[in-house]
Amino acid sequence: MGNIDLITIILIAANVIISYKGFQDYSFFEKYKFNVGAVKRGEQVRMFSSGFLHADTQHLLFNMLTLYFFAGVVITLLNTTQFVLIYLGSLLLGNLLSLYFHKNEYHYSAVGASGAVSGVIYAAILLRPDMSLYLFFIPIPIPAYVFGIGYLLYSIYGMKNRIGNIGHDAHFGGAIGGYIITLILSPWLFKTSLLMVVLLAIPIVLLFVLKKMGKM
């Protein structure tokens, strides 16, 4: 088994083991989930630990399947160390954006690898803009960049309207993390894929314009 498979399996195993510990141990789950009040009291470990906890098996399965499908693209085109940097950096930025948007909601809590996975998805799209995705409810291939832009626009809509019990801001923050870290690691993308770099920045700029205008 090569390193490409190994790091993905290690991350998936860590998510499964820690999530199942959380399913069975309420105090463990409460101690390590993301919670605004606790983070502000100095429990910074939650900024990372919450990314390895999940609400239920379905939540865990969805995130790990998505990670499995996109991780290989990033690892192949960059390397294992850079992939881990994108994963953990996106996890942290996802939670930082949640903290920014919910800083006055001391009860606000969240769990899940969605921020990290969103970062990996956005990194894969930047690195392979010609990639097509097959979504189970749409019978035709979708260009990866269309999916990426649509995903973030939906996240803005979800954040604005508080849709579902979903951390849309963590998804969005994770995608920003994947976008920024990938461009830092791969500055050649500004030459080879400048249009894609600009297109994928549009939802990010839109979010902060709406926030500045007081519409978020």
Indicate the domain borders of the chain: 3-212
- pTM for the whole thing? 0.88
Fold for domain 3-212?
Rhomboid-like fold (1.20.1540)
Q: Is the separation of the CB atoms in 145 and 125 below 8 Å?
A: yes
Q: How many CB atoms lie within 10 A of CB 91?
A: 27
* Nearest one of 10, 11, 213, 175 to 94, comparing CA atoms: 175
Alpha carbons 179 and 155: distance in angstroms, whole number: 16
Confidence of residue 86 (pLDDT cuts 50, 70, 90): very high
Each residue's pLDDT tens digit, 91-105? 999 999 999 988 999
- If you average pLDDT over each of 8-17, 97-106, 128-137, which comes out highest? 8-17
Each residue's pLDDT tens digit, 135-147? 656 677 888 888 7
The lowest-confidence range among 15-19, 41-45, 171-175, 205-209 is 205-209
Mean pLDDT for 130-156 is 76
Confidence of residue 85 (pLDDT cuts 50, 70, 90): very high
Q: What is the pLDDT of residue 44?
A: 95
